[in-house]
Amino acid sequence: MRIALFQGAPKPLDVPGNLQRAQLLVCPEMFLTGYNIGLPRVERLAEADDGPAAMEVAEIAQAHRIALVYGYPERADDGAIYNSVQLIDAHGRSLCNYRKTHLFGELDRSMFSAGPHHFPVVELEGWKVGLLICYDIEFPENTRRLALAGAE
């Protein structure tokens, strides 16, 4: 499996502009909107995991025949907002959506709800993969859960 990584500054508050740049496999935390944009903007830009941005990411993945992992503010059915990451396969299908479980500092806690302890492992191109977001990796139990579930 070939993996491409993108690490760079998003264009703050520019969801369409950031989606045009999404030509790589793994994008940073909160890639679609920028990270430290404040609660009012997070509330305005948060979308469901199958919202308009997700549909556009799926189109990009399908058009370029690549899988994409991207971070975004997710608005859940109950209105809670999560710092989330979604994996879209090369056919434009959502394979996995993960919500950050360990919020870092007041900045995270002022904008997001902590995700449930749900650590899915999915198959991508013959590989079993799981997702974590930034600070989540600092907690060994998170990676242990993924490994025990078969993540490679």
Q: Catalytic residue numbers?
A: 29, 100, 134
Q: Please, what's the b/e burial string for 120-143 (b: 16 or more CB within 10 A of its CB; e: otherwise)? A: ebbebeeeebbbbbbbbeeeeebb
The owner of tokens 């995991």 is 49
Measured CA to CA, the distance from residue 70 to residue 57 in angstroms comes to 9
Alpha helices in 4-131 (DSSP H): 15-21, 39-45, 52-64, 105-111
Taking alpha carbons only, the member of 43, 134, 36 closest to residue 85 is 134
Measured CA to CA, the distance from residue 29 to residue 7 in angstroms comes to 9
Measured CA to CA, the distance from residue 129 to residue 103 in angstroms comes to 22
Cα angle value 101/105/111 (rounded, 5°): 70
